[in-house]
A and B are shown apart, each in its own frame.
Chain A
Amino acid sequence: MSNRSSIDGIIERSRAYNCVQCAKCSSVCPLSGVDESFSPRLIAEKILLGFDEILYEKGLWTCLTCGACDDKCPSDVDYRGFIRELRGKSRQREEVWKCAHGGVLQSLMRMMSDSALKQDRVGWITGDMKVADKGEILFFVGCLPYFDIIFEDFGVKSTDIAGSAVKIFNHLGVTPVVMQDERCCGHDLLWSGDTENFMRLAKNNLKQIKKTGAVKVVTSCPECYRTLKLDYAEYFGEQDFEVLHFSEYLSDSINRGELVFNEACRLNGRVTYQDPCRLGRHLGVYEQPRDVLGSIPGACLGELELNRDRAVCCGSSCWINCGQSSKEIQKRKLEEAKSIADLLVTACPKCQIHLKCAMGDLEGMDMDVVDLTVLAARALGYLV
């Protein structure tokens, strides 16, 4: 019980003491729906009553921090914040948090936190793309180049998203800044309780962003988006640059009449859209990606039954949890998507990786999954 006082602080900050055990959380939790042993309110109850061994059980790490429960909690508990902080405590015993993929992604992120590290992270930039070292608009790439290496085997090319973004910028007459030595935003480390390395990554990025003179930071990754927008501000104070998700940037450009998709690149088919948790529930961006899809000629959007603030997570977050529950969530999602659409669009590179991975594991689940940015580039006539 030595660290009880710090746990009390977590309870206070997340207002977990308000919990009346009504169980509305578990009635909407995507994990509880597939894993009987997982109950958000029960984790809170155990912590409140001092059964701290829950810190070292897997429940704390299987939570998707998707926020579905927060939206329904009548007692105003910040459940995702509660879990995030508790993971910091839990980390003190290493055996409890075995990350997916042998923890290789977390290792890479920690390596990036070393400011002396030399990276070659811009190899995806081809001769037809114009980028700069300084300028007003910065494109924050995130870990896409790393994903390409790790997930090569199931045919996801995450850097296509970055390439598409730069081409769209250029199409609009913008030469975006791409940082040669950008680091991981720190999202996954922060959400797995490693605040120390998150801070190092963040400091490095903030220093570099400052050097470029950017006033607008655009990213195609919802997790980078959340982290740059909310968490950097929380830990380092308000920043003097604006943070946008690429779907917001696209939607703005469309509304201003600057971006018009090419009628010749008609997309004939039914599409559906997966709301990423960080973009949707965490930051309330629901309509802009739909606006973009709505302006692509021939795209006929059908909604998943649970969408927008009720959307179900893709089944995995922060490269922590991947098991039978994740697979079950992904299977249900793909089955539903297949029944209503030919193409599943995501606005998060990680959703795409997780869903593609699930397709490999599950028979008969193949369907086209594409990132919104890539889809937009194609609709402008670019071959991506």
Chain B
Amino acid sequence: MNKEKKNEEKEELRIGVYVCDCGSNIAGVVDCAAVAREIEKLDDVVIVRENKYTCSDSGQEEIKKDIKKHKLNRVVVASCSPRLHEPTFRKCVESAGLNRYLFEMANIREHCSWVHPKNPTEATEKAKDLTKMAVAKARKLKPLPKIQSPVINEALVVGGGVAGIQAALDLADMGFKTYLVEKEPSIGGHMAALDKTFPTIDCSICILGPKMSDAGNHPNIELLTYSEIESVEGYIGNFKVKVRKKARYITDECNGCGECWKVCPVITKNEFDLGLGPRKAIYIPFPQAVPLKATIDMNACIECGLCEEVCEREGAIDFKQEDEIIELNVGTIIVATGFTDYDPSGEYGYGEYDNVLTGMDYERLINAAGPTLGNVTRKDGKKPKSIAWIQCVGSRNKDNTHCSNVCCMYAMKEAMQIKEKYPDTEVYIFYIDIRAFGKDFEEFYKRLMNKGVRFIRGVPAEIKETPEKNLKIVVENTILGRVCEYEVEMVVLSTGIMPNTDAQEMQRKLNISRTADGFFMEAHPKLRPVDTPTDGIYLAGCSQGPKDIPNSVSQAKGAAASAAIPMIRGVVEPDSTIASVDLDKCTNCALCAKYCPYNAIVHEKNKPLKIIEAACKGCGTCAAICPVGAMEQEGFTDAQLISEIEAVLEENPEEKILAFLCNWCSYAGADTAGISRFEYPPNVRIIKYMCSGRASARLVDKAFELNAGMVLVSGCHIGDCHYIDGNYSCEERMDKYRKTLEAKAIDPRRFHVEWFSAAEGGEFAEYMKELEDMRKKLQEEGKLTPWKKKAKKKP
């Protein structure tokens, strides 16, 4: 170890810096040539190049050539967010023989040009600072060894709708044991409840049914229905998942013969029919259910025992059954938890007027296996002579800004069905825009117009029920520019797709993120649409955003392929930025062991502290908590982070806002601000750590010692930490730290702790504006003075 250190000290630093124009994305705002000129002046910088697209093949080739030709031993790229291209450039330098951890990135796009388009001068200054910081950190970088960790070749799919079924089938066909967890008694999801699908008008259950039974019979698939995820721990390759298998009071002996529900005297509403039809207390939700096994609804059951009397399978009914917790150990997880239908209660008289339905209600009515055996009837039993669809109910409004993608097509499909069945029915579709974007969708739209369906551009704000239980609609036909009145006998609300009701709970259990619309967030909206930001967890279907069936199936197949990659390789290489200890400094106080979220630090009396590398996930909490600086997080060492702080505060420190952001949430949130172009003051300077658990008093002290105007310590929202509880320990530590400010004559209003999610770009930008207002105010009050350390008295 010591030998290595000596070698490092001797090593002459040769840094290559690449400033990327990113076409006009960066160069349109930032004067990249000026940044390059400034960086050239820095010590140890051997070569600086400005290129149009550093990430392009030619850009990467240039870096590789320079490494060899100029004997570069550190590379810095100032371009986009490291969350996008750090892996690209690490691979690039590695292929030229440089250790991948000798690379550093400055984010001058998401954190600079995209958020300061109106301030090119300040943006250029900021880009210089950010690049200087990266160079400063690069000087302190050390080569790190590769870590490998094994991948369990079993997978978990959460959610048994069409996406989950497809993903599970693909993984199982590839040879991986796959657990398919579904919270309802049967797999099938929403698709099982639909009548026909658009634009082909083929029977939904007829195409889904075979897939459901394939999943049920596949030797590699283990179905866990009527089951919910209890907790998820671990990381790619080795997730430990607890599943609650709810008591259905029926054992595997059941063969679904149906004798029991024939005799059950209790009739209740069938959720599968959205309450429009009945079921018994002992039931299967629909005839094609998989597994074909009854369930007893204990809330309805009167425990009369009639079912037990008629059941011919010994032990199939077990009233003493209890919830069971099953522990799974899997390498990868696919989240396919689907969606919830928008509930329009209170709008357009839904729930109050007799003949106002949702699209899903209508699906059940027109379904031959549904409660009315396929007859679309009013509550009074009459067949409606006229039906109107109202579009965009619960979508595209101030609360739910998203378009639900499927409502235009499903409304048209439903209209087509009634027109085919009863061509005399008058059909109106009140719409804002018809979005028929998929394959053969526009053609379907034309065919429907040919059936005499009237499309009226304009939607009513409300409807009225007449004494005859018809519905009166007053609406402006915006093409005619005329307010018209219609009376129809039935109204179908084209309700949208909402994030599932358990989305927030699942987000926390899985430690993944959600976008502002509430759906799960993909790692990159274009390039990694089936990955989550958490390695080893993938997305399929409507849990990620509204989708039709073909898109859900495509994404499921994509997710299955992605989830298979690490399982096929058998090993993953997690970041080497894990903890290390300097035993010469360590006092064996064991605070680190106490705070480590992963129990990765072993402390035994009278024995040197030991780090279990395989267990350490690299949050850096130990490094922050260590009172003597013996603990370090590689890649985010005190020396590295302090070098960044020193570089940025070299000039006009009191004018700057220094923000420490965590990789997963707040840094990603600042990236989101960039992607969404939410502007904020250009004097914000961001330093990244992996987790707010890494934030230490030493770092903040350094910032105030050098007179940073404002300091923000930020991480994921409490409860959302990607390292279990790093942000808790951060909060605890920073609360204590705040109390020390007074003694240092630092105005406490200069120090802030705040949490942002990856989706909260707008909130981040707003908060930065508030910080800048506060900073200006404090500056006017003359409060931005440095912390003057008292000289230590010598004993």
Q: How far is the CB of A123 from chain B (nearest CB, A)?
A: 47
B483:A20 contact, CB within 8 angstroms: no
Q: Other than the known A20-B432, A24-B459, A33-B483, what 6 A-B pairs have Cβ atoms closer than 8 Å?
A: A21-B478, A23-B459, A25-B461, A26-B458, A27-B474, A74-B398
Is B7 located at the chain interface by the 8 A CB criterion? no
B458:A22 contact, CB within 8 angstroms: yes
Q: Mark B468-497, 1 if CB is under 8 A from A, else 0.
A: 000000111010011100000000000000
B398:A23 contact, CB within 8 angstroms: no
Is B462 located at the chain interface by the 8 A CB criterion? yes
Given contacts A23-B478, A27-B483, A39-B476, is CB(A75)–CB(B432) below 8 Å? Answer: no
CB closest chain-B residue, reference A69: B461
Instruction: Report the Cα distance A72→B432, complex, angstroms.
Output: 15
A28:B476 contact, CB within 8 angstroms: no
Is B659 located at the chain interface by the 8 A CB criterion? no
B433:A23 contact, CB within 8 angstroms: no
- Chain B interface size band reads 10 to 19
Is A36 located at the chain interface by the 8 A CB criterion? yes
List residues of chain A with CB within 8 A of the CB of B460: 24, 27
List residues of chain A with CB within 8 A of the CB of B461: 24-25, 27-28, 72
A32:B483 contact, CB within 8 angstroms: yes
Partner of A20, one of B396, B462, B476: B396
Is B236 located at the chain interface by the 8 A CB criterion? no
Q: Mark A67-85, 1 if CB is under 8 A from B, else 0.
A: 0000010111000000000
CB closest chain-B residue, reference A71: B461
CB closest chain-A residue, reference B477: A23
A32:B462 contact, CB within 8 angstroms: no
Closest 3 A-B residue pairs measured CB to CB? A74-B397, A23-B458, A26-B476
Given contacts A22-B432, A28-B462, A75-B398, is CB(A33)–CB(B478) below 8 Å? Answer: no
B475:A27 contact, CB within 8 angstroms: yes
Is A278 located at the chain interface by the 8 A CB criterion? no
Partner of A36, one of B392, B432, B433, B483: B483
B474:A75 contact, CB within 8 angstroms: no
Partner of A41, one of B392, B433, B462, B478: B478
Instruction: Report the Cα distance A28→B460, complex, angstroms.
Output: 8
List residues of chain B with CB within 8 A of the CB of A20: 396, 432-433
Instruction: Report the Cα distance A41→B458, complex, angstroms.
Output: 11
Q: How far is the CB of A51 from chain B (nearest CB, A)?
A: 14
Instruction: Report the Cα distance A310→B392, complex, angstroms.
Output: 22
Given contacts A23-B458, A27-B460, A39-B481, is CB(A32)–CB(B476) below 8 Å? Answer: yes
Most buried by A among B398, B474, B476, B482: B476
Q: How far is the CB of A131 from chain B (nearest CB, A)?
A: 45
Partner of B397, one of A25, A28, A75: A75
Q: Which of A1-53 contact B (CB under 8 A)?
A: 20-28, 32-33, 36, 39, 41-42
CB closest chain-A residue, reference B463: A27
List residues of chain A with CB within 8 A of the CB of B457: 23
CB closest chain-B residue, reference A21: B478
CB closest chain-B residue, reference A20: B432
B432:A21 contact, CB within 8 angstroms: yes
List residues of chain B with CB within 8 A of the CB of A22: 392, 432, 458-459
Partner of B396, one of A32, A72, A74: A74
Given contacts A32-B483, A72-B462, is CB(A23)–CB(B475) below 8 Å? Answer: yes
List residues of chain B with CB within 8 A of the CB of A24: 459-461
Q: How far is the CB of A182 from chain B (nearest CB, A)?
A: 38
Instruction: Report the Cα distance A350→B396, complex, angstroms.
Output: 38
List residues of chain B with CB within 8 A of the CB of A23: 457-459, 475-476, 478
A26:B398 contact, CB within 8 angstroms: no
List residues of chain A with CB within 8 A of the CB of B392: 22, 74
Q: How far is the CB of A329 from chain B (nearest CB, A)?
A: 14
Q: How far is the CB of A32 from chain B (nearest CB, A)?
A: 5
List residues of chain B with CB within 8 A of the CB of A75: 397-398
Most buried by A among B461, B478, B481: B461
List residues of chain A with CB within 8 A of the CB of B459: 22-24, 27
Q: Which of A71-109 contact B (CB under 8 A)?
A: 72, 74-76
Q: Can you list 20 residue pairs at the A/B interface with Cβ under 8 Å?
A: A22-B392, A22-B432, A22-B459, A23-B457, A23-B459, A23-B476, A24-B461, A25-B461, A26-B475, A26-B483, A27-B475, A32-B476, A32-B483, A33-B483, A36-B483, A39-B478, A39-B481, A39-B483, A41-B478, A75-B398
Q: Mark A52-75, 1 if CB is under 8 A from B, else 0.
A: 000000000000000000001011
Most buried by B among A20, A22, A24: A22
Partner of B458, one of A27, A28, A36, A74: A27
A41:B476 contact, CB within 8 angstroms: yes
Q: Which of A346-363 contact B (CB under 8 A)?
A: none
List residues of chain A with CB within 8 A of the CB of B396: 20, 74
Most buried by B among A33, A74, A310: A74
List residues of chain B with CB within 8 A of the CB of A41: 476, 478
CB closest chain-A residue, reference B398: A76
List residues of chain B with CB within 8 A of the CB of A32: 476, 483
B432:A27 contact, CB within 8 angstroms: no
Q: Mark B758-785, 1 if CB is under 8 A from A, else 0.
A: 0000000000000000000000000000
Q: Which of B70-90 contact A (CB under 8 A)?
A: none
A42:B481 contact, CB within 8 angstroms: yes
Instruction: Report the Cα distance A72→B462, complex, angstroms.
Output: 9
Q: Mark B412-455, 1 if CB is under 8 A from A, else 0.
A: 00000000000000000000110000000000000000000000
Q: Mark B487-527, 1 if CB is under 8 A from A, else 0.
A: 00000000000000000000000000000000000000000
Instruction: Report the Cα distance A26→B478, complex, angstroms.
Output: 9
List residues of chain A with CB within 8 A of the CB of B481: 36, 39, 42
Instruction: Report the Cα distance A41→B392, complex, angstroms.
Output: 17
B432:A33 contact, CB within 8 angstroms: no
Q: How far is the CB of B357 from chain A (nearest CB, A)?
A: 20
Instruction: Report the Cα distance A28→B474, complex, angstroms.
Output: 8
Q: How far is the CB of B660 from chain A (nearest CB, A)?
A: 34
CB closest chain-A residue, reference B480: A36
List residues of chain A with CB within 8 A of the CB of B475: 23, 26-27
Instruction: Report the Cα distance A33→B481, complex, angstroms.
Output: 12
Most buried by A among B396, B474, B478: B478
Q: How far is the CB of A52 from chain B (nearest CB, A)?
A: 19
Instruction: Report the Cα distance A33→B472, complex, angstroms.
Output: 14
Q: How far is the CB of B409 from chain A (nearest CB, A)?
A: 19
CB closest chain-A residue, reference B394: A74
B482:A27 contact, CB within 8 angstroms: no
Instruction: Report the Cα distance A87→B460, complex, angstroms.
Output: 27
Instruction: Report the Cα distance A28→B462, complex, angstroms.
Output: 8
Q: How far is the CB of A127 from chain B (nearest CB, A)?
A: 52
Q: How far is the CB of B352 from chain A (nearest CB, A)?
A: 15
Q: How far is the CB of A14 from chain B (nearest CB, A)?
A: 14
Instruction: Report the Cα distance A307→B6, complex, angstroms.
Output: 84
List residues of chain A with CB within 8 A of the CB of B478: 21, 23, 39, 41-42
List residues of chain B with CB within 8 A of the CB of A27: 458-462, 474-476, 483
CB closest chain-A residue, reference B475: A27
List residues of chain A with CB within 8 A of the CB of B483: 26-27, 32-33, 36, 39
Q: How far is the CB of A18 from chain B (nearest CB, A)?
A: 8
Instruction: Report the Cα distance A214→B405, complex, angstroms.
Output: 57
Q: How far is the CB of A336 from chain B (nearest CB, A)?
A: 14
Instruction: Report the Cα distance A23→B461, complex, angstroms.
Output: 8
Instruction: Report the Cα distance A24→B347, complex, angstroms.
Output: 13
List residues of chain B with CB within 8 A of the CB of A21: 432, 478
Instruction: Report the Cα distance A224→B458, complex, angstroms.
Output: 36
Q: How far is the CB of A228 from chain B (nearest CB, A)?
A: 29
CB closest chain-B residue, reference A34: B483
Q: How far is the CB of B459 from chain A (nearest CB, A)?
A: 5
Q: How far is the CB of A211 from chain B (nearest CB, A)?
A: 33
Instruction: Report the Cα distance A329→B395, complex, angstroms.
Output: 33
CB closest chain-B residue, reference A305: B464
CB closest chain-B residue, reference A40: B476
Instruction: Report the Cα distance A228→B396, complex, angstroms.
Output: 35
Instruction: Report the Cα distance A75→B457, complex, angstroms.
Output: 17
Instruction: Report the Cα distance A121→B433, complex, angstroms.
Output: 56
